[in-house]
Chain A
Amino acid sequence: MKGKVKSAMLGIALLGAASGALAQSEQFIPALSYRVGPYAAGGSGYFGGAIDYFNLVNLTGGINGVKLVWEECETEYNAARGVECYERLKTRHGGASTVEPLSTGIAYGLLDRVEKDKIPMTTFGYGSANAADGSVFKWVFPIGTTYWDQAAAMIAYIGQKAGGVDKLKGKKILHLYHDSAYGKEPIPVFEALAAKYGFEFMKIAVAHPGNTQQSQWLQIRQANPDFVILWGWGVMNPTAIKTAAKVGFPRDRIIGTWWAGSEEDVIPAGDAAKGYVSAAFSAGGTSFPVMQAIVNKVYGAGKGNLEDKSRIGSLYHTRGVSYGIIIVEAIRTAQAKFGKGKVMTPEQVRWGLENLNLTEARLKEIGAAGLFPPIKTSCADHEGSGMVRFQQWDGKEFKALTPFMIGDRALVNKMVHESAAKYAAEKKITPRDCAKEM
């Protein structure tokens, strides 16, 4: 039996070596996707969207002639499987340009590894917010927006509805959260904002998986807050919406996070979800020219990744497309500096991610104006935007309530730098001097 195991390992080793030896002529992007298990619906939509966009880029001539190539590896949303996938794929096709695990647990497992391997990692709309400080986290890009900015934007939105942030005084805001790293992440921001604006902040935890919530919602009805922030994940979201209906809490006073704001989160709740509001870091729908191009060129050529065509333009799908656009634009930015039409090294892609300037005009050229907000990153700011928009479910689709908007970014930035400094001290990292990088 030992022999068998060893030969199997040898086989795996050989396989890794063989595919690593291929000459580098294409830009390689590993896709640590998950298409089975509890979160398969999200994983297949998201990575389907990214791959659809990569296909579109290749069909229209690549990035200045450089074709993209990608490989998928099933992580099952499990940290150990994800690490194995990353290690397996990172040397293929001449080396991975960048990695996106779409899982907090896997992202933590890769944190030290990407630093050592010098491969930039994006955490698009999740992960630890302090990674936005690029002087400490050189290789990590929570690009677009983070949980902390989302929390600040939510308060800004509530302030807007109340008629100005000064009206928040005396309001009651309740944070109903998934009892995990994810759900606890924004609490410091809410607490700081509560102190600043004078609203009352309450929090109630829901144990994983959150498939019964009567006790929490009875407590909420008892407390009668002005707004409930639903920081949920997976089955917890539809259950929360349904239980809110059951205790008679109005759904338009529930504000979900973006991970509680996709079709998958509201459809199971049926009619109860009508009027429910959620945050979003990208828009949904197929009206954008880039989405039209994907429908016509990619799906028209039979190369589409989604099996269920009705999911084209769903929020997870457009999130994936947005991720694809950001990565492609970062590579384009890098090419502009290091040589057009060349394959970029991970280090150069990192530079591209750090010097990304996706203006409104550029987004329009790509056909993605309004799909996600403009992003301008720098050494000190790996996030680059922090904008969030709010949308409302009308029973059929999410309708935009606000344009992309921003919360108290100054406060969030201050907290990001403090938290990053604490991390740097603990890990004995000397932060880069961003003034010199300019």
Chain B
Amino acid sequence: MFYREAGQFKASYIEDSAIFPLRQDRIGIAVILAVAFAVVPFVATPYLFSAILIPFLILALAAIGLNILTGYCGQLSLGSAAFMAIGAFASYNFMLRVPGMPILVAFAGGGLIAAAVGILFGLPSLRIRGFYLAVATLAAQFFIVWCLSKVGWFSNYSSSGVITAQEINILGYVFDTPVEKYMLVLTIVAVMALAAKNLARSNIGRSWMAVRDMDVAAEVIGIRPMRTKLLAFAISSFYCGVAGALFAYAYLGTVEPEAYNLDLSFRILFMIIIGGVGTVLGSFLGSAFIALLPVFLSVFVEVLGSTLGLDVSKSLTSNLELMVFGGLIILFLIVEPHGLARLWQIVKEKLRLWPFPH
């Protein structure tokens, strides 16, 4: 009833291929953005900002990055965390070594360096496919983290190889409190998410999807696979790199290369699979699911224990949480293999007809 496109006519091709062709979607996105920018900062607690919302947004950004590569271009990668690490360490070095470097430029610079390395590790994708490529991207994961911890220059010769993020200072304004950091992260993520959404419907995005669906056929119709794939690697790594820089600057503060380990790569891959491959919305839903589920489970078990007055050992509950986490992932994959974004799609279909079933 409310979600119905009847009566919305598109008079031009431009209108038809707009980023949000439906009025309802435009209103929806505006409401979400308004809530995120104008309501959340006033109602959320510092805990929510610094432990939930900021990592959720940062990981969603990384998931968008991986989604560009895996979801749109069909190249499976298990090395996203390594590109995040490059972004963080490159931003750190830009800030450290270039006097007067604006921090946003440093983030972008970190992203660009990540993109350059991404192109390098994307080269094998021209010959290797599927799981062979996935395992090959593990080479990037292990090699890059090893390099960052081995070469002292990257961490300014810190004896333990960690970097400490400089303060975030934009035009004299210091982003220090959780709310300020949240606003900064939200702005960057919102802009980049919209850009990704825009990119997906452009010429580039369509050629990615052509390569994903069948690269030989794509080549036949005149899409250059090398340029397309490498561009996907570059842009994906750029997103991951910026996310990694934010992860260090807005979230953890002091990080060691180990913080960007294989485990993080897997978590990001989970996000896009659970959220929905090849959708920007799915990246956010998946990030919410994977980043929040363990927290939610642990709070849930805690509340359950205290309300029931049970005195169960912490080892038992911790292991149970892990099992339930694993079990829920499997369950979601079985129930909706196309991810949460598909669920939303189904809800939209239903809304179109509601309240009349036919």
Contacts and interface: CB of A to CB of B under 8 A. Distances in A.
Touch test A–B (CB under 8 Å)? yes
A390 to B, nearest CB: 24
A187 interface: yes
Interface in B306-351: 313-315, 317-319, 321-322, 340, 343-344, 347
B165 to A, nearest CB: 8
B159 A74 contact: no
Nearest to B293: A8
User: Of residues A2, A40, A179, which shows the largest number of chain B Cβ atoms within 10 Å of its Cβ?
Assistant: A2
Main secondary structure on B side of the interface with A: helix
Contacts of A17: 45
A105 B292 CA distance: 20
Nearest to B48: A13
Most chain A Cβ neighbours within 10 Å, of B45, B164, B288, B314 = B314
Interface in B156-171: 156, 159-162, 164, 166-167
B259 to A, nearest CB: 5
Q: Which of the listed residues B50, B252, B313, B322 has the most CB atoms from chain A within 10 Å of its own CB?
A: B252
Contacts of A8: 292, 296
B255 interface: yes
A44 B315 contact: yes
A147 B224 CA distance: 55
A182 B160 CA distance: 7
Contacts of A9: 48, 52, 292
B47 interface: yes
A111 interface: yes
B102 interface: no
B228 interface: no
Contacts of A73: 298
Contact of B314 (A1, A33, A426): A33
A108 B256 contact: yes
A109 B321 contact: no
A426 B149 contact: no
B204 interface: no
Given A36-B322, A179-B149, A5 B292 contact: yes
Interface residues of B, number: 52
A12 B48 contact: yes
Contacts of A74: 298, 314, 317-318, 321
B254 to A, nearest CB: 4
Interface stretch (A78-86, A220-228, A292-300): A78-86
A80 B50 CA distance: 11
B48 A111 contact: no
A33 to B, nearest CB: 7
Given A83-B251, A184-B161, A427-B164, A35 B256 contact: no
B160 A88 contact: no
Contacts of B52: 9, 12, 84
The residue in B55, B254, B256, B296 that gathers the most chain A C-beta atoms within 10 A of its C-beta is B254
B51 A187 contact: no
B266 interface: no
A101 to B, nearest CB: 13
B253 interface: yes
A213 interface: no
Nearest to A109: B252
A26 interface: no
A87 B288 contact: no
B299 interface: yes
Given A1-B347, A80-B55, 12 more contacts: A1-B343, A13-B45, A16-B48, A36-B319, A44-B315, A79-B255, A84-B55, A88-B51, A180-B149, A184-B149, A184-B159, A208-B258
7 contacts: A17-B45, A36-B322, A83-B50, A113-B253, A128-B162, A184-B149, A426-B156
